[in-house]
Structure 1
Amino acid sequence: MKKSFLIIGLALAMFSCNNGSTTASSGTKTAYVDTAKLIEENQEAKDIESKYKTKSQEMGRELEGEAKQFQNEAATFQRDAQVKGMAWAQQKSAELQKREQQLGMKQQAMLQTLQQESGKEMDSLVKRIKDYIKDYGKKNSYEYIYGTGDAASILYAKDGLDITEKISKELNDKYKGSDKKEEPKAEEKK
């Protein structure tokens, strides 16, 4: 008899717990954004990528000219080494090695500069997107907006909860409509 009451009591307790959580969760407005897709479709991100691709090509052309000149000097060195002797060849070889190292360092410096500059711009863009999503959530009374994508924190969600397209469209419209050089300051947003 005691066991029957205990089982019935546990069943009622479990039933009441389930009812409470269903009610609480059904009143919560949540959504998610595919962050990888959002960045992929973002026009400003595309413009930043294009800008640095162009910059990289320009810097590459400059470096390519210096590399061709170095290759010509190296080819001339091989011909002249036989004629001018061993002492000259050793001295010129050291100069060519030093120049080759300088070209390598210059290439690395250019790549590093491009990565740092583009990284800063992309970090700034990601911060603005996060701020926008936060403001969007507040404005539209969301309690939670989750992120999916490369660093997925959601393994499953109903398709109806995906607001990626809405956010993407609004961000792109805002970017197209604003002067790209004049960004609102953080103090003005609040």
Structure 2
Amino acid sequence: MLSKNVNMDVHKPKRQLLTFLIFSNVFLSVAVVVFLVLLVSNDDKIAYVESAKLLNEYKGAEVARKEFDKKAAEWKGNIDTLESDVRDAMKKYEKELSQMTTRERKINQELINTKRAQLVNYQRAISENAKQENVKVMQKVLSTVNSFLLDYGKKNGYKMILIANESGSIAYAREGLDVTAGVLDELNKEYLSSVK
């Protein structure tokens, strides 16, 4: 009988340690929950805006897109002119081919090849220029919108304004957290007053 009591006494410290660890984990878990509740209390305002809607409906972005489209149309007109020059030179060459000397054929072929090369080089340069111009325009718009969001958040007491994009960076948000309409309204008012 004495040996059974000794065995029970050996397991007692292990049970006490296990009990202590369980209570410590429960206490720690409760503390974390309380901390999180205090961290995200009702005083902390969090909202989000839909980036696609902002960029599509912001008047400053619309004007920037129109200006870019105007430049792109001009570039396309220049490309169309160069393409027309190449086509006209080819038609003239084909029409007069039977009456040309070997030297005239060679000169006309070189002229056509030069016009083609100019066209390809111009298309390449315009394509690169268009990409750079688009990036520059969009960076300016994004900088304006981000600066506005910073001021808007501070002015309206938001702790955080998130950006929702089409890839689903915000899967769910409680109704009322989307402030896109209000931001757009104020952003457009600010833009329109700055261009008057």
- TM-score above 0.5: yes
Distance 1:114 1:31 in 2: 35
Q: Aligned-pair distance for 1:54? A: 2.4
Amino acid at match of 2:149: I
Unaligned runs of 5+ in 1: 181-190
Aligned Cα RMSD in Å? 2.2
Kept after mapping to 2: 8 A contact 1:48/1:118: no
Q: Aligned-pair distance for 1:93? A: 0.8
Which residue in 2 is equivalent to 1:11?
26
2:38 equivalent to 1:23: yes
Secondary structure of 2:158's aligned partner: coil
Which residue in 2 is equivalent to 1:132?
148
Amino acid at match of 2:140: S
2:73 equivalent to 1:35: no
Which residue in 2 is equivalent to 1:58?
74
Kept after mapping to 2: 8 A contact 1:74/1:96: yes
Q: Aligned-pair distance for 1:170? A: 0.9
Q: Aligned-pair distance for 1:150? A: 4.4
Distance 1:78 1:179 in 2: 55
Unaligned runs of 5+ in 2: 1-14
Relative to the length of structure 1, the TM-score reads 0.82
Relative to the length of structure 2, the TM-score reads 0.80
2:193 equivalent to 1:177: yes
Q: Aligned-pair distance for 1:151? A: 6.4
Which residue in 2 is equivalent to 1:76?
92
Q: Aligned-pair distance for 1:16? A: 2.6
Cα distance 1:176–1:85, how it changes in 2: closer, same or farther (>3 A)? same
Q: Aligned-pair distance for 1:177? A: 1.9
2:49 equivalent to 1:49: no
Which residue in 2 is equivalent to 1:187?
none
**How many residue pairs get matched?**
180
Between 56-65 and 1-10, report the one with greater CA deviation.
Answer: 1-10
Q: Aligned-pair distance for 1:67? A: 2.0
Cα distance 1:63–1:12, how it changes in 2: closer, same or farther (>3 A)? closer
Cα distance 1:5–1:112, how it changes in 2: closer, same or farther (>3 A)? closer
Which residue in 2 is equivalent to 1:94?
110
Q: Aligned-pair distance for 1:5? A: 4.6
